[in-house]
């Protein structure tokens, strides 16, 4: 008797679940697969096998950053610029946007992407502008109306 009652309660719970009502009895939509864009005119294959890049690309990028920024060693193999050269949309020259290489994979994996808060054409344009002089000498010169 107890078993029949528990089975009936379980069946009702499953049938009355909010997900069943929300989906209208259909399976919920899956997240669309990422858009994989490779510019074959840039090279025959990636610098690493696909499965290795999927799993370890962030470690490669961070290692490249450390080598470049902290040790002054610049190489191309795992550089962000090299990745963009091969994977950017030929029309927009970007890996961002709805169908962009990086953004579509990160959206699929539900991972935030912040590389391009610094590494973008907009950021590069701003950094190319001459910086405003600051510091005691600049402030003193500004007060006098002269250049530091």
pLDDT in tens, 3-57: 665 566 556 555 555 554 555 556 667 777 787 778 777 777 889 998 999 899 9
Instruction: Tell me the backbone φ, ψ of residue 70, rounded to 5 degrees.
Output: -95, -25
pLDDT in tens, 33-48: 787 778 777 777 889 9
Type and span of the H or E element at 83? helix 80-87
Sorted by where each begins, the domain ranges of the chain are 33-117
- Encoding tokens for residue 124? 């590069």
Higher per-residue pLDDT: 95 or 144: 95
Residue 104 CA: distances (Å) to CA of 32, 33, 46, 111, 117: 9, 8, 18, 10, 17
Given its phi and psi angles, is residue 94 left (phi above 0), alpha (psi -120 to 50 degrees) or beta?
A: beta
């Amino acid at each position: 008797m107890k078993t029949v009652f528990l089975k009936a309660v379980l069946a009702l719970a499953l049938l009355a679940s909010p997900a069943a009502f929300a989906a209208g009895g259909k399976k919920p939509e899956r997240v669309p697969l990422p858009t994989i864009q490779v510019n074959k005119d840039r090279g025959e294959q990636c610098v690493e096998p696909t499965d290795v890049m999927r799993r370890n690309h962030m470690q490669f990028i961070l290692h490249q950053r450390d080598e470049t920024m902290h040790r002054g060693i610049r190489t191309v193999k795992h550089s962000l610029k090299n990745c963009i050269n091969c994977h950017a949309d030929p029309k927009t020259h970007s890996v961002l946007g709805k169908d962009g290489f990086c953004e579509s994979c990160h959206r699929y994996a539900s991972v935030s992407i912040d590389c391009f808060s610094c590494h973008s054409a907009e950021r590069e344009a701003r950094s190319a502008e001459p910086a405003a002089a600051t510091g005691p000498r600049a402030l003193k010169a500004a007060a006098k109306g002269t250049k530091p």
